[in-house]
Structure 1
Amino acid sequence: MSTRGLNPDGTIAREGALSRVPDAFAPVVDAARARIGEVFDGPRLHSAYLYGSIPRGTAVPGVCDLDLLLALHEEPTAADRADARAMEDALDRSHALINGVGILLSGVRTLRSAAERHDSGFFIACLCTPLLGPDLADRLPRFRPTSLLARETNGDLALVLPRWRSHAAEAATDAERKALARTVGRRIVRTGFTLVMPRWGGWTSDLDESAEVFGRYYHERAEQMRVAAAVGRTPSADPAVLGLLIDRLGPWLAAEYTAVHGTKAPRP
């Protein structure tokens, strides 16, 4: 019987683990751990985490990227962000197995704040795998697939759509359009899934499964969501695909999300 990503008590299970990292990616993870220790160890770093397909065990060599979150004792500075960008470039250049590196930076105070409890807190507790330092999840609650969680994770799509339209209009190359399409496709699918998550009663980060679950409840939009999932995996530079997601599916999804779950609480 499927557990739908839940623990026996009905809370959302942590989806990744170092034990699930595919053998081929183990050297990449080891290199990231070492580089983080060299660059951020000391007074700056509280803890570091992996997330995405590598700790879930579903990474495809040459296709998947390396995703990291660094929790800092203080809020990130310009120097911290510059160091993170340099680390991204160095890791990407030295490992052909990955298709890019993304490093998120956040202060521990923000990650532990009440405002971020059902957003960044959920992200740490359920979607991130500890790599270095004390695990912030130890001080966070268990999470369930509720409307509150849906609202606070993805209830701001309406705010993102205008930025995407601007980026699409400014994109001058296929590479830029593909990068945007990947971001848009993944965010649309995540939002579509969390829209129906409380009714489905579970959690998944798999794009195809997310689109399939969404389609059970919104049959008339199922094909559009399958396109979003496909673009999230294999980005397209076709402006018509971006238009479908940003101008057709996106506005409907944002309105439906607000109607069902409300809007995400404003952040400072």
Structure 2
Amino acid sequence: MTTPDITLYTYGTQNGVKVSVVLEELGIPYKVKQVELGKREQYEPWYLKINPNGKIPTIVDHSKEDFSVFESTAIAIYLCENYDPEEKLLPKNDPKLRSQVIQWVMFETSGIAPAQGQSNFYCRYLPEKIPFAINNCAKEIKRLYGVMNKSLEGKEYLVGNKFTLADAMSYPMIRGHFFSGVESIDEFPNLKAWVERIDTRPATQKGLNVPVPDKMKEYRENPEKLEEFEKLIQSFFKEKQT
């Protein structure tokens, strides 16, 4: 296996930390470049060369001729396929287990991430609150949480009763449920226990603090910090509209 030489371009968002969590869980050495979203650095020509979509995260694999990969799910799968010989996060030799992991990864990509992303917009970013939109987003998030809660019944993790990419990709989003308008997940005991279980994983926790200290933890523990962030991001959206 090629010795990895990877640069991670990211920011401390729920989506951004997914890749640093995977890198840490796999024990892959990497360098970090924080992309300054507030300064619109993601739209600068140098960044668009490695990520034409102008989003974070992105990796550049210097050990493979500076091969760049964008989109968090695509990056996670790439890392597992190239640098997970022990099959820590993604099975390779068991087609059924591999499919199950990928199914849950896609469930997060097509369901949880967009649902919570949209809810973040209505709950936190948009200066004018629209109750119908906020309630509708929360309803869909809870539906998705219900699917996971039922699937976790009698299990510690989603697939094979071990921590895999299926868990690693969903956890950064679900732990921030309060940020997305779902204040409590007490009604989903299996899911809540799953979150608490992953909370104890040192590698995952390290990944959550890349490239800056864990923002979700800060916002949960300090509501005034969350309020400050809301005001900042709302002013940013107002500027964009003028």
State the TM-score, normalized to the length of structure 1. Answer: 0.29
Q: Which has the higher contact order (CA 8 A, sep 6+)?
A: 2
State the TM-score, normalized to the length of structure 2. Answer: 0.31
